[in-house]
Amino acid sequence: MEGENICEVDSGDGLGADIISTVEFNHTGELLATGDKGGRVVIFQREPESKNEPYNQGEYNVYSTFQSHEPEFDYLKSLEIEEKINKIKWLPQQNAAHSLLSTNDKTIKLWKITERDKRPEGYNLKDEEGKLKDLSTVTSLQVPVLKPMDLMVEVTPRRIFANGHTYHVNSISVNSDCETYMSADDLRINLWHLAITDRSFNIVDIKPANMEDLTEVITASEFHPHHCNLFVYSSSKGSLRLCDMRASALCDKHSKLYEEPEDPSNRSFFSEIISSVSDVKFSHSGRYMLTRDYLTVKVWDLNMETKPVETYQVHDYLRSKLCSLYENDCIFDKFECAWNGSDSVIMTGAYNNFFRMFDRNTKRDVTLEASRESSKPRAILKPRRVCVGGKRRKDDISVDSLDFTKKILHTAWHPTENIIAIAATNNLYIFQDKVNSEMH
Amino acid sequence: MGEEEGLHQTPFLDTMFVRGLKRKCFDGEEDIEGTLAGIKAIPSYNLQRQSLLDMSLVKLQLCHMLVEPNLCRSVLIANTVRQIQEEMTQDGTWQMINTQSTGQASLDRLVSTDILCRSSRDHQAEGKHGPAYGTFNKDFESDQAQDNSETMSTASAVQTPRNLQSNVWEMESPQENKGNFQKSLDQIFETLENKSPNTVEDLFSEVDNSYYDLDTMLTGMMSNTKMGHCDSLETFPSPTNTASNSNCKSDLNDLDHIVEILVES
């Protein structure tokens, strides 16, 4: 699989506030939103393809930047509330404006993004600068006309959904009904109506009566893309629960429980930790779910609860290093995963700025690197390989040379085309599959 | 945790934990003597497991930063500790705690863990509410023949290298304090969910703002806490580690308590 870099955006000097914490395409792929640790959201827009400059087709440029969340202080617990944007989800576009939800650990906000590219000129009562005219100078009347102006993008907060969560919000998901959305924290999932901010409906609560008995938390959740009554949530024990909101008001009892029995030969003290699901995504078809745990990505068929239908090893060479990764906390890294538009290829990130793609049909996989060296504009990405000892080819990287501070946790795939967005710490890389783009 | 250290610190532990192979449980002393012979020898499974347990407890202790700790991470670490506890129970590698010096050393660790993982909010609110909470207390009482406060004040003498503040030891009944603490936190959580401002006002009267005390304790603690347990195994383990096996049970009794503390905080 070849890749061609379209643009690389370095959003800062890497002091920490610029670390990208989420990436999300909108439903058409025209817009790409990123959230960072400093609470900012940056939206990129794809330039329309121009026949005059075929090489500039489809570049993403900055469209708008705004501060979504600010740091807060919880006086009750004497703790800071981070402004880091955990998730962004776009609402389906219903008029000329775009809307998205962004959330930090505690508060979800609905933002409306509008464009202004015309302004009225020729007022009778005020002049060009807006000052009131001296009426004695007005000798005739004119009709103001709309004249084009430089594009101005305005972002306004339309709703603030606060005080819904005691624990840290890890996911939000907009329902296919376009009226409701859910937000999940470590122990609870709430259902909100997009127009109502002062109350939400609790639909999942796994908080035990006695907190000492807590052994499992919610790690991710998502609504089914087509059935507005179905949603899934994943747990730190590696299980998935599909819930039907029609069954009861409180969906503590799942409709289906997806769990793979543990492999006894691979059992270790770290088995549970590496089985914790860090991300779950429904396929576009709605037939499958994709989960990511520490070492693998798995495809689950909604109709089969006993085990996944496909399992792909992301970086199995780390299996013998789990204790070191536990010591430096890397074992708790939460990687995301993504489907391509046709559900035939899945993608996830890894360490050393590597990311992996798996073709479900051909069963081929590739490791690519998101780095400045390999990402000159229109450079072809070279497949990378990690060697575990034994035969070592040129350009292979040994496991012990991997840089564990360079982790690709957040990736996104364009909804229809082969364009991917990769967040590598504070850099955003956008790659396009050159092969496809040449097919006319 | 130093991420930049990469994978270089725990080659031995990694080898041990690859497939979770269970080794026959040897007496701790013999293992030490065995490895005494060769500096480069792989430490015994028990030592490895103990090191993992120590590492996990340190991770739980460090959970109090300015920002609320990651609950998922805390739960996973606590489950790991629990797992080690269960295996050690099955192996029979731990003994009943008696009142020897090692027992008291383990109490030190137990109580100091308590101090660190608990917010200092409640340590001045003494005896307000009755019920003891947690299996911590039940296990503790069942294992100890003598009075808790007596043991603790004895332990405080042993504790000098750890620089704990003396007012911490003035608690009369730690169980009651914890009961108060838990009740306060439950109220807090319920309040946040119900969003009823009235009970919030009431809660403020019970909340203690002595956060600065916790900072001082943590500072004192950190200078004595061993970091990088895996590293210490590569150089040869000191004889004091032989006592660590008997510390297991106290650590493990402490587990439930830790779990509660860390998830409440």
Q: Does B73 touch chain A (CB under 8 A)?
A: yes
Q: Higher confidence at residue B12 or residue A45?
A: A45
For residue range B141-185, what is the model confidence (pLDDT) as tens digits? 333 333 444 433 333 333 333 333 333 222 333 344 444 444 433
Out of A383-387, A388-392, B127-131, give the one with best mean pLDDT: A383-387
Place of tokens 């080659």: B11
Question: Whole-number mean pLDDT of chain A?
Answer: 91
Q: Does B8 touch chain A (CB under 8 A)?
A: yes
Contacts of B264 in chain A (CB under 8 A): 211
Q: Which residues 226-245 on chain A approach chain B with CB closer than 8 angstroms?
A: 236
**Which residues have a Cβ under 8 Å from the Cβ of A155 and sit 6 or more positions away?**
A64, A66, A111, A112, A113, A114
What secondary structure letter does DSSP report for A16? S
pLDDT of residue A24 exceeding 70, the answer is: yes
Number of neighbours of residue B168 by Cβ within 10 angstroms: 19
- Local confidence band at B17 (pLDDT 50, 70, 90 cut-offs): low
For residue range A48-58, what is the model confidence (pLDDT) as tens digits? 877 666 555 67
Contacts of B9 in chain A (CB under 8 A): 324, 327
Alpha-carbon distance of A369 to A45, in angstroms, equals 24
pLDDT of residue B113 exceeding 50, the answer is: no
For residue range A131-141, what is the model confidence (pLDDT) as tens digits? 888 888 888 89
- Local confidence band at A388 (pLDDT 50, 70, 90 cut-offs): confident
Rg (CA), chain A: 24
Mutate which of A73, A82, A190, A212 to disrupt the B interface (most B C-beta within 10 Å)?
A212
Q: Which two tokens stand for residue B237?
A: 């383990």
For the ranges A38-42, A54-58, B79-83, the lowest mean pLDDT is seen at A54-58
For the ranges A352-356, A426-430, B57-61, B212-216, the lowest mean pLDDT is seen at B212-216
For residue range A233-271, what is the model confidence (pLDDT) as tens digits? 999 999 999 999 998 888 878 889 999 998 888 889 999
For residue range A158-196, what is the model confidence (pLDDT) as tens digits? 999 999 999 999 999 999 999 999 999 999 999 999 999
Q: Which among A268, A391, A250 is positioned nearest to A323, based on CA atoms?
A: A268
- Return the residue of B nearest to A403 by Cα: B6
- Local confidence band at B13 (pLDDT 50, 70, 90 cut-offs): low
Percent of chain B clearing pLDDT 90 (strictly above): 9
- Local confidence band at A3 (pLDDT 50, 70, 90 cut-offs): low
Q: Does A273 touch chain B (CB under 8 A)?
A: yes
B49: exposed, middle or buried (C-beta count within 10 Å: 0-12, 13-18, 19+)? buried
Q: Higher confidence at residue B104 or residue A289?
A: A289
CA distances from B149 to A138, A216, B153, B172, B175 (A): 92, 34, 6, 7, 11
Q: Which residues 184-223 on chain B approach chain A with CB closer than 8 angstroms?
A: 188-189, 192-193, 195, 200, 203-204, 207, 209, 211
Alpha-carbon distance of B264 to B186, in angstroms, equals 8
Alpha-carbon distance of B259 to A213, in angstroms, equals 8
Looking at this protein, which amino acid is placed at residue B26?
A: F
Q: What is the pLDDT of residue A51?
A: 64
How far does A200 lie from chain B, in Å, by closest CA?
Answer: 10
Alpha-carbon distance of A35 to A43, in angstroms, equals 9
Q: Higher confidence at residue B253 or residue B115?
A: B253
Residue A434 has φ and ψ, to the nearest 5°, of -70, -35
Percent of chain A clearing pLDDT 90 (strictly above): 74
Considering the entire predicted model, what is its pTM? Answer: 0.71
- Return the residue of A nearest to B257 by Cα: A212
Alpha-carbon distance of B95 to B81, in angstroms, equals 17
For residue range A347-367, what is the model confidence (pLDDT) as tens digits? 999 999 999 999 999 999 999
Q: Which among A405, A316, A297 is positioned nearest to A357, based on CA atoms?
A: A297
Q: Which among A256, A222, A261 is positioned nearest to A238, based on CA atoms?
A: A261
A167, B7: Cβ pair inside 8 Å? no
The angle at the Cα of A259, spanning A255 to A265, to the nearest 5 degrees, equals: 165
pLDDT of residue A87 exceeding 50, the answer is: yes
Q: What is the pLDDT of residue A380?
A: 79
CA distances from B18 to B15, B130, B141, B222 (A): 5, 47, 38, 30
Alpha-carbon distance of A190 to B204, in angstroms, equals 27
